[in-house]
Amino acid sequence: MGGAAVALDYDAELMLRVKEGDSASFGVLLEKHRLPVVHFLYRMVQNRAVAEELAQEVFLRVYRSRATYEPAAKFTTWLFRIATHLALNSLRDGKNERSQERLDDDSSAMPARQVSDARPSIEETLVSQARRDEVRRAIAALPEKQRAAVLMHKYQEMEYTQIARVLSCSESAVKSLLFRAYESLRARLAHMA
């Protein structure tokens, strides 16, 4: 838990430096949080180009808000609130015309895992890939707020309180969203058990 507090202090400190005009600190925040934001947005809108565009808008809004920034919540809570609102607005506006690309097609954005000894066979790799694709499709099929809650909970490892702040709802509403989402996923993916 101490590491999280250090990260919070560091991110908030960096943003306060940005507020004072230190553009190098903004570069550090951008470098640290850009990929997690892009991956979150990609899983939300299911379109690489739209996710990249939305991520640019997220960080543009962060930069534009520097003068009024106050570290009332974790920096990542504030950051993902902006990202979530932009993603939900994009989905509602229909800007994310579903492309033919799969959720994990751009392997260049993800570091390749290197395993020296226990490399899986081609068949195991294909089965594993098919299972991941099916899980991603199941998550993508969830209603928008449930999808956002699951992505923040499982992929960003956010706590209920942080997700509640991002989604501007109560902690019990987040628990309810996650319960319904996980029930839907369990039903849809029961054949994989």
CA–CA separation, 166 vs 80, rounded Å? 6
Higher-confidence residue of 122 and 167: namely: 167
Reported as half-sphere exposure (CB side, CA atoms, 13 A), residue 57 has a value of: 16
Q: What is the pLDDT of residues 88-135, one digit of tens each?
A: 999 988 754 444 344 444 444 444 444 444 666 787 777 788 888 888
Helices marked H in 46-170: 48-64, 75-93, 122-140, 144-150, 160-167
Q: Spell out the domains of the chain, with CATH numbers in brackets.
A: 1-99 (1.10.1740.10), 122-193 (1.10.10.10)
129 contacts: CB under 8 Å, gap ≥ 6: none
- The model's pTM: 0.70
